[in-house]
A and B are shown apart, each in its own frame.
Chain A
Amino acid sequence: ETGVTQTPRHLVMGMTNKKSLKCEQHLGHNAMYWYKQSAKKPLELMFVYNFKEQTENNSVPSRFSPECPNSSHLFLHLHTLQPEDSALYLCASSQDLGGGSYEQYFGPGTRLTVT
């Protein structure tokens, strides 16, 4: 257990569906992240939040919409996805941004399949 939980662990959705991924951290951290992990590819940073404010959006398509209602919760809303969006979506948190020694703690991920 890393102190970061994600639900659901597995999700299958059609291209016309709308679904949401949820992440919760119990570590008192101020920064939270969404990553996409595809097979044999580097982790892709999607969004970064610090103190509930979005600080990074790495050219992510608008069919992915993040929400951070407080420092402990992070959502990723999904709509009209494409099959190439099938991947493992990882949430992470860290004490703060900046200060290079702040390691990130990852949740177990949501395995998303778009049919």
Chain B
Amino acid sequence: GQNIDQPTEMTATEGAIVQINCTYQTSGFNGLFWYQQHAGEAPTFLSYNVLDGLEEKGRFSSFLSRSKGYSYLLLKELQMKDSASYLCAVMDSNYQLIWGAGTKLIIKP
């Protein structure tokens, strides 16, 4: 079966760095997405990785290792507004997104 695993909840301190991991087992691979979802709001796109390596976009970076079935989202200089759920999703061989259950990130002052 297809499976995406990510931690249920993480806590970090304002100004710090946090890494949210995602491991996957899917039938085929056409890229990995990270989305941010604030409570009561729509998920919004953060990043897309299809090749191994690190993609940096401001305070957020996303890493992919296809051989390990592993990705992480790195958030630097954390701000209170970063408190949200972070969703990992993999596009399979049928170009359908397979979603993880999300990681709820709590930022403390």
Residues of A within 8 A of B (CB): 2, 4, 40-43, 45, 48, 56, 90, 97-101, 103-109
Residues of B within 8 A of A (CB): 4, 8, 30-31, 33, 41-45, 48, 50, 87, 89, 91, 95-102
A105 to B44, CA, bound (A): 7
Report whether B97 and A45 are in contact in the complex, using a CB–CB cutoff of 8 Å: yes
30 A-B pairs within 8 Å (CB atoms) are namely: A2-B44, A4-B42, A40-B8, A40-B102, A42-B99, A42-B100, A42-B102, A43-B89, A43-B97, A45-B96, A45-B97, A90-B43, A97-B95, A98-B95, A99-B95, A100-B31, A100-B50, A100-B95, A101-B48, A103-B45, A103-B48, A104-B45, A104-B97, A105-B45, A106-B42, A106-B44, A107-B42, A108-B41, A108-B42, A109-B42
The A interface is mostly helix, strand or loop, or mixed, namely loop
Report whether B50 and A101 are in contact in the complex, using a CB–CB cutoff of 8 Å: yes
**Inter-chain contacts of B45 with A (CB < 8 A):** 103-105
A56 to B41, CA, bound (A): 25
A109 to B42, CA, bound (A): 7
Q: Between A and B, how many residue pairs show CB distances below 8 Å?
A: 49
**Inter-chain contacts of B89 with A (CB < 8 A):** 43
Report whether B97 and A106 are in contact in the complex, using a CB–CB cutoff of 8 Å: no
**B96 is contacted by which of A56, A99, A108 (Cβ under 8 Å)?**
A56
**B91 is contacted by which of A100, A105, A108 (Cβ under 8 Å)?**
A100
Given A56-B96, A98-B95, A101-B31, are A43 and B44 also a contact pair (CB < 8 Å)?
A: no
Given A40-B8, A106-B44, A108-B41, are A100 and B99 also a contact pair (CB < 8 Å)?
A: no
Task: Tell me the smallest distance from the CB of A9 to a CB of chain B, in Å.
Answer: 10
**Inter-chain contacts of B42 with A (CB < 8 A):** 2, 4, 90, 106-109
Task: Tell me the smallest distance from the CB of A96 to a CB of chain B, in Å.
Answer: 9
Report whether A41 and B41 are in contact in the complex, using a CB–CB cutoff of 8 Å: no
**A40 is contacted by which of B48, B50, B97, B101 (Cβ under 8 Å)?**
B101
Q: Across the two chains, which residue of chain A brings its CB closest to B87?
A: A43
